[in-house]
Amino acid sequence: MPDSASALSAAIDHHKAGRLDEAERLYREALAAEPANADALHLLGVLMGQRGEAAASIELIGKAVALRPTAPAFHNNLGKALSEAGRLTEARASYRRAVELAPTYAEAQYNLAVALAASGEPAAAEAACRRALELAPGNVSAEKQLAAILLRGDRFDEAETVLRRVIAARPQDAPASLSLGRVLYRRGSLKEAEVLARRFVAAEPQQAAGHSLLGAVTLAAGDLDTALVELQRASELDPKDDSALILRGHALVALADFPAAQQCYERAAALAPEDNLAWRNDLIRLLYDPRVDEAARRAAHVAFGEAMTARAKPLPADPAAARDPARRLRIGWLSSDFRQHPVARNLETIFAGRDPSSAEFVCYANVFRPDSMTDWFRAHADLWRPVTGLSDAAVADQIRADRIDVMVYVAGRFDHNRPQVAAWRPAPVQVSLYDGATSGLPAMDYFIADAALVPRGAPEYFSERVVRLPRFYVHRPFSHLSPPGPLPAETKGYVTFACFNNPAKVNDDVLALWARLLRRLPDARLRLKYKNWFASRRLQERIGGAFGPELMRRVEFDAVDRVTDDHMMLYRDVDIALDPFPFTGSTTTFEALWMGVPVVTLMGDHFMARWTGAMLHALGLDDLIARTPDDYVAIAAALAQDRGRLSALRAGLRDMVGRSSLCNGAGHARHFQRLLRALWRRWCKAGGR
C-alpha cells in the first residue's frame, strides 16, 4: 500500500483528469493510511459532491473543516455541498466564513451571492456579487448572477447593461441572450426581444424557457396565433411553468375561450399557490364571461379575499395617528397605471384639479414601463415611491411609514396592480378605485362608483361599502383632434357599424346578436379593431363560425396597431358603435362619442356591464340603452335607418360630451377630494375604527 502522501498526489492527478473512480480509490487509500488527513477528506468530499452524493460530501468536508478550520477552500466547498442539499442557511454561513478567512476569495464571494439570492436576500446578494466582480472582473457567471438579481428587482436598465456586457464578451451565450430578451420584453422593446427569443429557440428547441419568452413577446405584440403555439409548447416541455400557463390563459381570454382560460389559471395557481397573479387574472376572466352569474362572482371574490387575508399580517393601529377631521390629509395611490393608459387619463383629472392645501398625494408606482405620462404624475405628486420588486409586506410597511391617512388602490385586479396590499391594513381608510368588481378583501373599506353604475338596491355583491360620486367616469377632452367630419353613410350609401373593444369582450352572445342585426340590415357593414389583434386567424375563424360566409363578406378587420390619434381617426368611417357585453366599453365608448359616433349598449346588472349605459345616461341618450337583447337589435336597426338623427348626432355629440359632466375634470377633482375627506371624517368620528 502506498504511503498517504503518494496516494494523495496520485489521486489528485486522476481527479484533475476526470478519472473519478481511480481518484476515489486512491483518496480512500490515503485515508486508510492517515485517517486524519484533512486534504484527503476535503478532496474526497469534493469528488463525492461531483458524483451527486451530497450527504457523503457534507460529512467528509465537515471532518476536514474540523481538522483545519482556517482553510477557506474547505468552507467554500462545504458551502457548495450544503447548497446542493438545500441547506441554504448553513451554506451561507460556510461561504461567509470562507470570505472572512480570505477576503479576496472571488469564488466564495460569488457562491455567497448565489446562496443569498436563493434565500431571498437580494440586497446582500447584489453586494456579494459586485464584490466578486471587483475581485475577478469579467467573471461571466458573476455577471449573469448580478443580472438575474437586478431583473428580479425590476431594475431593467441596470440588468440590460450587465447582460449586454456579457453578450459582448460571449456572443454565443444563449442563456444570457434569453435573459436580455426577458429584460427587453419587460421594458416593451418587443422587436429585439422577439429576435433574441427566436435565436434561443433555434439553439435550444427543447428548452421551455425560450418558447415561454417567445410566447410572451408575441402575445404582447398582438400575434395571438404564434403566442398560443409557443406557450402550448412551453407547457408541454415544462408542465410546471406557471408563467406560460398564465400567459396562455390571457391569449385564450382574448379569443373568448373562457373555459380553457380558466383551466390555465387554475393550473398555474396550483403550481404557485403563494403567487396571486393567476388568481387575479381569473377574476378578470369572470368579468368577460357571460356565463358567470352573480353567485359565482361573489363566491370567487370572497374566496380571494379570504385567501389574501390569511396570508397577510395586518399591521397594528398607529397610536400616533392624528384623528383630526380637518387637517391636511396624506392620500396614497398604489397603481401600475401611472403611464399612457386609460386609467391614467381618468386619474389625470383628479391629480390636475386637486387642492394641495387640503391634501398631499403620495404615489406608490408599480410601473414597469415608465413613459411621459409617468413623468407627468411624478411631477404632480408630493412624494413618489417606486415599488416594483418590493414584496406586499414591504409596500405595506412603506405606506405605514409614510403615515398615509387614506389609501387608494387603483384598478385592483388589472395589469400589475396590487389590491392585496390592503389586507395588511397599512392605512386607516382604504379605498378601491377603477376595479371591475368588489375586491373581496375585508380590509378594503370602500368601493367608489356612481348611482348609474351601482344603483342603490342593486344585486351585485360588494365586500366594501359602496360610496357614490355624482359622476364616476370623467375624461379630459381630446381637444387637439379635428372634427368628426360628415356622416359616412351619406357618401357610402350604407351604414358602417364598428366595435374597437378588446376581442375578449366579443363573446358568442355578442356575435349572435350582431349577426341578427346584420341580417336585419342587408347593406350594413361591421368593422372590428383592437390594436392589431384581429389579424389572428383563430379569432377570425371564431367570428366566421358565428356569422357564416355571407355575413363575413360584410366584416372588415383592421389589423394595424395604430397610435392613439390615428386610431381615433378611424371613427371617421364609422356611423354607429356597437357596445359589447357583459364587459362594456369605457374609454372606447368615450372615444367613439367624442368622434361623433353614437354607441348602442345593453345595460347589465353589475358594475362592468353598466359603464357605457352610465355614460349615455350622463348625456341624456337613454334611448340608446337597451334592456334586453331584442331591444339592442331594434335600437341599433332603427338608428341605422334614421339618417337625419345620425347626422345630427355626428355634428353635435362632441359639443354635447364636452359640455357634460364626462369632461368636467375640475368638478370631478373637487367631488373626489370631498368624498375622501368625508371618509376620513367618518373614520375620525368612529374613534379610529
Region 46-51 average pLDDT = 94
Same domain, 493 and 465: no
Q: Report helix angle 122-135 to 140-152, nearest 10.
A: 160
What does the pLDDT look like over 634-649, one tens digit per residue? 999 999 999 999 999 9
pLDDT in the model for residue 342: 92
Yes or no: say if 584 and 613 are a contact pair by the CB < 8 Å rule: yes
What is the full DSSP assignment across 304-333?
HHHHHHHH--PPPP-TT----TTSPEEEEE
The fraction of the chain above a pLDDT of 90, given in percent, is 90
H helix runs in 173-257, sequence order: 174-187, 190-203, 208-220, 224-237, 242-254
524 and 412 housed in the same domain: no
Polymer length of the chain: 689
Neighbours of 687 (CB within 10 A): 7
The answer as to whether 384 is a domain residue is yes
Mean pLDDT of the chain: 94
Check pLDDT > 60 for residue 8: yes
Cβ contacts of residue 103 below 8 Å, gap of 6+? none
- Does residue 688 register a pLDDT over 70? no
End of a domain among 437, 469, 501? Answer: 469
Instruction: Tell me the average pLDDT across 235-252.
Output: 97
Q: Is residue 620 part of a domain?
A: yes
Q: Are residues 446 and 507 in the same domain?
A: no
Residue 117's Cβ-side half-sphere holds a number of Cα atoms within 13 Å equal to 23
For position 412, which CATH number holds? Answer: 3.40.50.11380
Alpha helices in 356-406 (DSSP H): 372-379, 392-401
Q: Is the predicted pLDDT of residue 211 greater than 80, yes or no?
A: yes
Per-residue pLDDT reduced to its tens digit, 72-110:
999 999 999 999 999 999 999 999 999 999 999 999 999
Task: Verify that 505 and 567 share a domain, yes or no.
Answer: yes
Task: Give the pairing type, strands 429-433 and 406-410.
Answer: parallel
Query: 689 or 456: whose pLDDT is higher?
Result: 456
Neighbours of 275 (CB within 10 A): 14
Structure confidence by residue, pLDDT tens digits, 250-289: 999 999 999 999 999 999 999 998 889 999 999 999 999 9
DSSP class of residue 27? H
Instruction: Please tell me whether residues 357 and 443 are part of one structural domain.
Output: yes
Please indicate, yes or no, if residue 602 is contained in any of the structural domains: yes
Number of domains in the chain: 2
Q: Classify strands 525-529 and 383-386 as parallel, antiparallel or unpaired.
A: unpaired
Q: What is the pLDDT of residue 223?
A: 96
Q: Are both 509 and 652 inside the same structural domain?
A: yes
Tell me what pLDDT residue 207 has: 96
Q: Say if residue 503 is in the same domain as residue 651.
A: yes
What per-residue confidence (pLDDT) applies to 346?
Answer: 93
Which structural domain range is residue 378 located in? 329-469
Buried b (16+ CB within 10 A) or exposed e, 72-95: bbbbbbbbbbbbbeebbebbbbbb
Instruction: Determine contact, residues 459/294, Cβ cutoff 8 Å.
Output: yes
CB 347 within 8 A of CB 672: no
Confidence of residue 687 (pLDDT cuts 50, 70, 90): confident
Nearest by Cα to 555 from 569, 572, 568, 541? 541
d(CA 529, CA 540): 12
pLDDT at 401: 95
Residue 136 within a domain: no
pLDDT at 562: 78
Same domain, 559 and 656: yes
CATH number at residue 494: 3.40.50.2000
Q: Is residue 437 part of a domain?
A: yes
Does residue 78 sit within a domain?
A: no
Structural domain contains residue 544? yes
- 458 lies in the same domain as 346: yes
**634 and 541 together in one domain:** yes
For residue 533, is pLDDT > 80? yes
The yes-or-no verdict on residue 1 having pLDDT over 50 is: no
Examine the domain organization and report whether 457 and 543 are in the same domain.
no
Report yes or no on 115 lying in a domain. no
pLDDT at 323: 86
Q: What are phi and psi of 46, to 5 degrees?
A: -60, -45
Q: Which among 259, 254, 257, 212 is positioned nearest to 231, based on CA atoms? A: 212
User: Residue 616 pLDDT more than 50?
Assistant: yes
Per-residue pLDDT of 398-418, as tens digits, reads 999 999 999 999 999 999 999
128 pLDDT tier (thresholds 50, 70, 90): very high
Residue 2 has pLDDT above 70, yes or no: no
Burial class (CB in 10 A: 0-12, 13-18, 19+), 249: buried
Residue 154's closest CA among 113, 193, 182?
Answer: 182
If asked whether residues 422 and 450 sit together in one domain, one would say yes
**pLDDT tens for each residue of 487-515:** 999 999 999 999 999 999 999 999 999 99
